[in-house]
Chain A
Amino acid sequence: MPNQQRVELQMPFRPEYLPLATGCVEQAVQAYGMGRGEAMHLALAVEEVYSFLANRTTPGQRLRLSCRFAGYYAEVVCRFQRGGLPVEAFNITTTVSSDDEKSLEEMGLLLAARTVDQLRISAEAAEMGVHFIKEKLYPSVQDDLPDFAATGPFHLAEPEAELLKQFAVRVHSRFGAKTPPPFQCPGKLVDMVCCGEYDAVLLVDGKGNVGAGILWHCRNKLAEAYGPFVFCDQPRLATQGLEACLAKLARQGLLCLVVQQPPAEMPDGFFEPLEAAGSVLYRQLEEDNGSVAYIHPDIADFYRAETQRLFLPRQLHQALRQGEAGSPRSAFSARMNRPAGQVVLTALWVGEDAAAVLQQHVKALRQAGFNEIIFQLDTGEASQAELSPALLAGGFVPRYILPWGGRGDVLVWTQREEA
């Protein structure tokens, strides 16, 4: 993939090396053809993390810094040995004493998160990683293309640049301010598909008009799609597009396909609704032969009812602590989508302080302007069962099960809007 130009650097955590780290990021990101502004933002984020770590790591620890360009964004990852730091140091709320506004402002990592588009914390075999993503800037949609009356037959076309741009404009003409993010900038859509992170099926007529399209991307074992959208008076194109999308997804080892906010033209009979409102549609791509779900008794009735409704073969293990010593500390990872005001929390470690840490996260995130807080609880991890009481106490409501969304099923919670 020509776009994936990777740069890597390893160095000790010593103040005199800081310019090396920030300089590397600045240079690499500009070499990727991105603007100086974006490069500076990423360098600033790395500076915050570096300083934060340099004060806390033991001597001899090293930072592994990598920069990667994926066509429409640059990703900078700071990796370091897992044992070198207490994991809870990476809670975005660390050092925030709950009532002190000032210390919130001083919180380096949260500040770092504000300069980038996405922040993610990962735990790999022996390392932890802090990932910063900054997207390239693109002009937003300028034109308007109304739906049209079909005159000839449609065929499946390769998703090449001009067709993708037309696709984005057509989706934008339909949805205006509510256009799903991948379609907001036509040039970005082209780069997203070109770098291989997204794929699309387009149905095009003899004159090059895009009559229908569907776009998707894959994360782990899950594909998430937008569409199918139909832009002419041929409703059958929705089924045709969906079938072509499913044919492309077959034999790729993916387990499921999800469509959030399905369009009106979604054909019947391909998906199952995961929740009552029908705003999350789901389809498995492989046969489900069952798994174990670790569930706290407080949530067992909900879980059992949902798995029965969905005919999901699950063995529920009620995971309940029985006085045994657990890990004292918790660490959560936050995937922030700043423009959408949305944040997705997941658990890296669950400890005795889970409820308090959750509360701190919610407070800090609300203050930072995130109005949609989602918690994804992985029922394939026994230790996460303990989170349910903390989530319930924190005002979160279980919304639906996303089967095979993580190591096991993911139980998706959202926080009730505060009155």
Chain B
Amino acid sequence: MAGSFPPLESLVPRHIQHIEPYIPSKPDDVLRQMFGCERIHRLNNNENALGPSPKAMEALAAIDLFQASVYPSGDAFHLRTKLADRFGLTPDSFIVGNGANEVIAFVIKAFCQEGDNIITADKTFAVYEWVAEFSGYEARLVPLGEDYGFDDDAMLAAIDARTKVLFLCSPNNPTGSYWSEAKLRRFLDRIDGRQIVVLDEAYCEFVEAADFPDGMKLLHEYPNLLVFRTFSKMFALAGLRIGFMAGAEKLIDVVRRTCVVYSVNSFAQQAAIGSLEDATEHIGRTRAMVRQAREFLGPELDKLGLFHLAGEANYMMIRLPMSDTLAYRKLMAQGLMVRSMTGFRFPNHIRVTLGELPVMEKLAEGLKNILPG
């Protein structure tokens, strides 16, 4: 080895020294071998079992592979135009990112500096908290209320002069809860533009309830609001990594200063444009699948005496009379990959993706096999 090992104690900032890297799951072939099962049903990431829509597939099939040699549109020009038409906003109201995960980082980078904080819930999608902490900002975690929903009063009470961004997840991952439009409006009114409010609507396309608020519509009235959406869930493009945020042009202009250009590849942009073309049909078919899965699984879990919680999104949370990480191993041995929820601060719970009926039947059977007695 040439040269000395770098002095990590002084090179690595304190807040990074204390952070543990996220460990993604291993690929299927490796997992099959480890757990000795023939097939793995991935029910851990809330993907859409139906796959991309026909138009998205068409768009992907039509791609000129030679284009791999050329940089993509650095600001997803055509996609933003389509999004503008769809949501009745201007193209400059959008930023497209390498998944919604990337735009979370853009927002925190754009608004926070040393000593600032963000506010979110303790039991929600982890990335808001992670990005804040590895960037050196405090993440204030407000416990969910009794109803498994975000606690508006407590979040407001947690705000101080250094609070920059409040992250809401609607519907919440993993509890499926959401605020009615009236409640959301009251919250935004009380914030009165003093902080940035992010409404992460990664799963909004699954929701059928009439009182579910549409963040995109509220953008006209609340210039401090930012809405996140993704093509990973309903549109089944998770492997291509594409998501976006929308907000008032002036706010978006600030966030754009922190963006990484060219982070979204051409194929993802094409597929996303394709999936907007037949969105209505695709959403309809997917909702029907999820509804069927929910209607099947709920009573099955009741029969097993397991508490479960499913909102309107494509996942369900289940409480087990055993450690969720042990359940994970026992279910993996049967080819069923679920999400263990200790990391979401729901010990002894698992979260499963609602998908096609035969797989849901396998899941019910798999759960029956691992229950004691």
Q: Which residues of A contact B (CB under 8 A)?
A: 125-126, 242-243, 246-247, 250-254, 268-272, 283-290, 310-315
Contact = CB atoms under 8 A, between A and B. Distances in A.
B322 interface: yes
A288 B325 contact: yes
Contacts of A246: 342, 345, 347
Nearest to B36: A313
B81 interface: no
Contact of B31 (A242, A285, A290, A311): A290
A290 B26 contact: yes
Interface of B: 5, 19-21, 23, 25-26, 30-31, 33-36, 122, 126, 129-130, 320-323, 325-326, 328-330, 332-333, 340, 342-345, 347-348
Contacts of B23: 286
B328 A288 contact: yes
A315 B325 contact: no
Contact of A289 (B26, B129, B343): B26
A280 B208 CA distance: 48
Given A268-B321, A269-B323, A290-B26, A285 B329 contact: no
A286 B323 CA distance: 11
Given A126-B5, A286-B23, A250 B34 contact: no
A146 to B, nearest CB: 31
B325 A247 contact: no
B134 to A, nearest CB: 12
Given A290-B35, A311-B329, A311-B333, A269 B348 contact: yes
Given A247-B347, A311-B329, 9 more contacts: A250-B345, A251-B129, A253-B19, A253-B21, A269-B320, A270-B347, A283-B326, A311-B330, A313-B329
A289 B35 CA distance: 8
B5 A247 contact: no
B49 to A, nearest CB: 21
Nearest to A243: B347
A285 B342 contact: yes
8 contacts: A126-B5, A247-B347, A251-B130, A283-B325, A288-B329, A290-B34, A290-B35, A313-B35
A315 B35 CA distance: 9
A246 B19 CA distance: 18
A274 to B, nearest CB: 12
A282 to B, nearest CB: 9
Contacts of A268: 321
A405 to B, nearest CB: 15
A287 B34 contact: no
B325 A286 contact: yes
A247 B31 CA distance: 28
Nearest to B130: A251
A140 B30 CA distance: 53
Contacts of A243: 347
B343 A286 contact: yes
